[in-house]
Amino acid sequence: MGMQIRIYYEDTDCGGVVYYANYLKYFERARTDFLEQRGLSVAGILKQGTQFMVVRAEVNYRSPARYGETLIIETTLAHSGKASVTFAHVLRERISGRMVAEGSATLVSTDLKGKVKRIAPSFLKALRSFPQRLRQGAR
């Protein structure tokens, strides 16, 4: 199961529909959760001298999410290259399963000064692993 996002009034426009730019925030939260499930943290990555910068983001809106609903965001690693990774996101309304939006984000690996660098093999291995909390629950 993916990460849950509850829609609050502050997330919506005057019509009670989620403001379109908020989906990018939800994707960011989901990517952070994806990393944490695999034992990685943004702070830890930064301490190792690496940061990831979004170079492309897409959102395809399928149906409006509204105040009071809860969304489930499924995040997967769609592609990995020598210095970039692409995450795919699918958002569904929790109860009905209705598709709300789908999208992706491509991030490039850089040093702390912004120079592109190769992604460490250990990082890619962790990204491709099963979430730790699911592995622990299977024991």
Q: Is 111 a catalytic residue?
A: no
CB crowding 7-45: b at 16 or more within 10 Å, else e: beeebbeeeeebeeebbeebbeebbebbbebbebeeeeb
Residue tagged active-site, from 11, 13, 33, 111: 13
- Active site (catalytic) residues: 13
